[in-house]
Amino acid sequence: MRLAAQLIDLQKHYHLGEHTVMALRGVSADFPEGDYVAIMGSSGSGKSTLLNILGALDRPTLGNYILAGYDVGSMSDDELSEIRNRRIGFIFQSYNLIAQNTVLENIQVPMLYRRDARRISAADEHRCLDLAEKVGLGERLDHRPFQLSGGQQQRVAIARALVNDPEIILADEPTGNLDSATEKDIMNLLTALNNEGRTIIIVTHETSVARRAKRQIVMKDGLIERDGMLLTEDGK
Amino acid sequence: MLPFGNTLRAIRLAFKSLLLHKLRSGLTMLGIVFGVFSVIAMLAIGEGASAQAQQQVLALGATNIIVLSVKPPADSAQASGGGRGRSFGLQYGLLRSDYRLLRGLPKIVGAVPIREIFSETRYLQKTPNARVVGCTSQYPDMNHLTMQRGRFIADADEDKLLNVCVLGAGIAAELFPFEDPIGKAVQIKTYRYEVIGITQERTASAAIGGSMSGQDYNKDIYIPLKTFQVRIGDRVATAQAGSFSAEQVELNQITIQVRDQKDVLPTAEVIKESLARTHAGKKDWDVVVPLELLRQADQIRQIFNIVLGSIAAISLVVGGIGIMNIMLATVTERTREIGIRRALGARRTDIVQQFLTETIVLAGAGGLIGVLMGLATPVAFEGIQWVVENFVLDSGTQNSPLSKMFTDMHPKINWFSLPIAFGISVGIGIIFGIYPARAAAYMDPIEALRHE
């Protein structure tokens, strides 16, 4: 099976004054294409650091992060930007939409930063409309984020994450600000995407969310404590 | 660097985010607006002032050389008083023999000797003071005078010693408010002179050499030089309270014209040498070259423009600092947005471009408004002139040379200054935009995303 992403003995050190904090102390994991993984752990376990590296927002101190065949650890800032743009779709806890843009413009933002095709063609426009339809926002393309509910804003973010057809989708507590009914809707949407073959990595500390994934990774003290099918949907 | 469509989109994006904070953007822009406006206005006023000065100097004639009689200082006059003739009173100045000598110099195409006094003139019960000028038929050509009515003095008038006179437009209106002056007789001193013509109104010329005030040709009365010599004479006595003084002057001025502008300076040198010899070192004459004045006026204009422009440029810099200040605040305020864009794939250069475009659009729009306001400078200046004329100057000072200079001045917009001022405003947008834009681009995306 092809790997979407691979972590090889990843370490991340932070220098705070005189002492060095070892946020990650040797993390290795494979993420095959079409995988659906939940990363869990208490705060301080290193899961945020891992998320930043997985999202190509940060580089590991030691070890390798291979994404779609590229070694992200040794890339320049511009190359990291390109990797984020083409290979990764972000979904954040607080949605992170651009306030002054409409729904449609928010979905288009990653298209503006493509290296090869910076102009939004008619086909691109069409794709955005399809995605908006897919996440259930076909009616609200001209709305601004403040006119939408939390669940709707997260749907915009999901459409935006998909727009450049990324290798993996990284979701950071995607339902953290939502009520349980909306949480269910959003998780159903993510499950549907995974069923289409998309690789999804969710960082969460809610078991109700982690349960929806095919596989769970539990972090502790900068290391992977457990990895595998630890929780199942029928509630083991 | 970027395709055209992208630049347009970047500009549209910049407008959009600037319009989100209309008041803030507007206030920030004001700095640049007034900076650009003051640059254009200052240059226009400087240009207007120099155009005025140039016009006055040109009125003297660019190919003319003016030789003047100068009254020597009192003590040296006493010492040299007996040098020439037995007549009482102070005797100085150019002689008729000087005129004959100078007229014979090479390259000279014309020379007009002038004798003038200030005297009361009379027609019926009107007695205005006027400058009575004895001159020859060439005078109007050299001084760019044109006739409104009648004719100027002819050579024949002089030969026959006729009592005829030509009035300036101003004095004609004063003496003859309701009548046709032609054919009437004006009394000057003891004789009457028949009016044969009236000159067209003419702008005053510049003051020359510090020895004369600016000439107002409109208050002149011209009579034939020989008539002047015979009827009025060389000696003019003035009785003042408790004292009596007399002056004997043959000619007050000789205006000399050369054929070409390049002959002006060498000929002036020759004239100076000749007069120095014939007057035996007595410095009772001076040579004024309008062309030189023109050059001086031009240099003064440049100095003026540089000084005024620099002062105005300071306000542009202040405007730029205002922009930078606001952009730094904007960058902090939009840290989250920057983080989002970086996470979604924006490179540092994309962020720099975004914020730099915003500053340039802000400064450019301010510059454009400033240019439009600058175009209104002449109108605004007229307003100021109106205020000054009606509320500052009283009737006494209204006609003083300085206030006249101010009220007659018209700012002249230098068309060069429009694109330059606009360009500078855009340049200021770039210079003062780079730092905030780089500050935005070099933020850590992780920190930026976490920013509340």
B181-210: per-residue pLDDT in tens? 999 999 998 899 999 999 988 766 655 544
Is residue B290 over pLDDT 90? no
**A&B contacts, CB < 8 Å:** 66
Rounded to 10°, the helix B290-333/B417-441 angle is 30
Give the chain B residue nearest A85 (alpha carbons). B345
Q: String of b and e for B233-266 (b: at least 16 CB within 10 Å)?
A: ebebeeeeeeeeeebbbbbbbbbbbbeeeebbee
Determine which of A35-39, B61-65, B86-90, B149-153 has the lowest per-residue pLDDT on average: B86-90
B73 touches chain A (CB under 8 A): no
Side chain identity, residue B266: P
Asked if A114 and B345 come within 8 Å (Cβ–Cβ), the reply is yes
B63 located within any domain: no
Task: Give the dihedral sign, CA A84/A85/A87/A91.
Answer: positive
Assess whether B47 and B79 both reside in one domain: no
Mean pLDDT of the region B325-331:
92
Assess whether B269 and B403 both reside in one domain: no
A215 touches chain B (CB under 8 A): no
B62 located within any domain: no
Q: What's the pLDDT score for residue B211? A: 39
Range of the domain at B391: 4-56+295-450
Assess whether B427 and B309 both reside in one domain: yes
Assess whether B319 and B372 both reside in one domain: yes
Domain boundary among B227, B256, B283: B283
B329: confidence class by pLDDT, cuts 50, 70, 90: very high
B218: confidence class by pLDDT, cuts 50, 70, 90: confident
Domain boundary among B254, B283, B312: B283
| Residue whose token pair is 């509910």 | A149
Indicate left, alpha or beta for A171 from its phi (over 0: left) and psi (-120 to 50: alpha): beta
Calpha distance B386→B28 (Å, rounded): 32
Helix/strand/coil for B161: coil
Determine which of A51-65, B226-240, B355-369 has the lowest per-residue pLDDT on average: B226-240
B284: confidence class by pLDDT, cuts 50, 70, 90: confident
B406 located within any domain: yes
Stretch 408-447 of chain B: residues touching chain A, C-beta under 8 Å: 445-446
A96 to chain B nearest CA, in Å? 6
Domain boundary among B222, B252, B283: B283
B6 to chain A nearest CA, in Å? 7
B13 touches chain A (CB under 8 A): no
B437 to chain A nearest CA, in Å? 17
Q: Which residues of B touch A112 (CB under 8 A)?
A: 9, 346
B314 touches chain A (CB under 8 A): no
Q: Which of A177, A184, A226 is nearest to A209 (CA)?
A: A184
Asked if A81 and B345 come within 8 Å (Cβ–Cβ), the reply is yes
Angle at B351 between CA A56 and CA B26, to 5 degrees: 145
Asked if A81 and B342 come within 8 Å (Cβ–Cβ), the reply is yes
Q: Which residues of B touch A86 (CB under 8 A)?
A: 345
Widest CA span of chain A, in angstroms? 55
B392: confidence class by pLDDT, cuts 50, 70, 90: confident
Q: Which of B436, B438, B447, B425 is nearest to B360 (CA)?
A: B425
Assess whether B46 and B81 both reside in one domain: no
CB B54 within 8 A of CB B302: no
Stretch 342-401 of chain B: residues touching chain A, C-beta under 8 Å: 342-350
Q: What's the pLDDT score for residue B84? A: 46
Assess whether B182 and B103 both reside in one domain: yes
Assess whether B263 and B326 both reside in one domain: no
Assess whether B266 and B310 both reside in one domain: no
Q: What's the pLDDT score for residue B410? A: 85
B191 located within any domain: yes
Asked if A86 and B344 come within 8 Å (Cβ–Cβ), the reply is no
CB A140 within 8 A of CB A41: no
Asked if B340 and A98 come within 8 Å (Cβ–Cβ), the reply is yes
Asked if A81 and B3 come within 8 Å (Cβ–Cβ), the reply is no
Give the chain A residue nearest B346 (alpha carbons). A113
Give the chain B residue nearest A76 (alpha carbons). B347
Q: Which residues of A touch B20 (CB under 8 A)?
A: 100
Calpha distance A214→A232 (Å, rounded): 8
Asked if B345 and A164 come within 8 Å (Cβ–Cβ), the reply is yes
Give the chain B residue nearest A83 (alpha carbons). B345
A152 touches chain B (CB under 8 A): no
Q: Which residues of B touch A97 (CB under 8 A)?
A: 340
B341 touches chain A (CB under 8 A): yes
Which candidate from B3, B20, B346 shows the least CB-CB separation from A100? Answer: B20
A186 to chain B nearest CA, in Å? 21
Q: What's the pLDDT score for residue B239? A: 65
Which candidate from A58, A99, A112 shows the least CB-CB separation from B446? Answer: A58
Q: In chain B, how many domains are there?
A: 2
Structure tokens at B119: 């005297």
Q: What's the pLDDT score for residue B4? A: 57
DSSP per residue over B108-131, as a string? EEEEEEEEEEEEEEEBTTB--EEE
B51 located within any domain: yes
B2 to chain A nearest CA, in Å? 10
B3 touches chain A (CB under 8 A): yes
B136 located within any domain: yes
Q: What is the pLDDT of residues B88-116, one digit of tens each?
A: 567 888 888 889 888 888 888 888 999 98
* Torsion, CA A83, CA A85, CA A86, CA A87, rounded to 10: 60
pLDDT block averages, 10 residues each, chain A of length 236: 88 89 92 93 89 92 91 91 94 92 93 84 91 88 92 94 93 90 92 93 90 92 88 60
Calpha distance B441→B259 (Å, rounded): 69
Instruction: Please give the ipTM for the structure prediction.
Output: 0.94
Mean pLDDT of the region B287-311:
83
Structure tokens at B312: 């105005």
3-state secondary structure chain A: CCEEEEEEEEEEEEEECCEEEEEEEEEEEEEECCCEEEEECCCCCCHHHHHHHHCCCCCCCEEEEEECCEEHHHCCHHHHHHHHHHHEEEECCCCCCCCCCCHHHHHHHHHHCCCCCCCCCHHHHHHHHHHHHHCCCCCCCCCCHHHCCHHHHHHHHHHHHHCCCCCEEEEECCCCCCCHHHHHHHHHHHHHHHHCCCEEEEECCCHHHHCCCCEEEEEECCEEEEEECCCCCCCC
Asked if A160 and B344 come within 8 Å (Cβ–Cβ), the reply is yes
B336 touches chain A (CB under 8 A): yes
B64 located within any domain: no
Beta bridge partners of B445: none
A6 touches chain B (CB under 8 A): no
B65 located within any domain: no
Angle at A169 between CA A166 and CA A172, to 5 degrees: 145
Q: What's the pLDDT score for residue B82? A: 43
Assess whether B88 and B234 both reside in one domain: yes
Stretch 43-82 of chain A: residues touching chain B, C-beta under 8 Å: 52, 55, 57-58, 77-78, 81-82
Q: Which residues of A touch B449 (CB under 8 A)?
A: 57, 92, 96
Asked if A85 and B344 come within 8 Å (Cβ–Cβ), the reply is yes
Test mutation, B338, B344, B351, B443, chain A, max A CBs within 10 A? B344
Asked if A98 and B346 come within 8 Å (Cβ–Cβ), the reply is no
B22 touches chain A (CB under 8 A): no
pTM exceeding 0.80? no
CA A53 distance to own-chain centroid: 11
Assess whether B263 and B314 both reside in one domain: no
Assess whether B98 and B218 both reside in one domain: yes
A232 to chain B nearest CA, in Å? 32
Assess whether B170 and B45 both reside in one domain: no
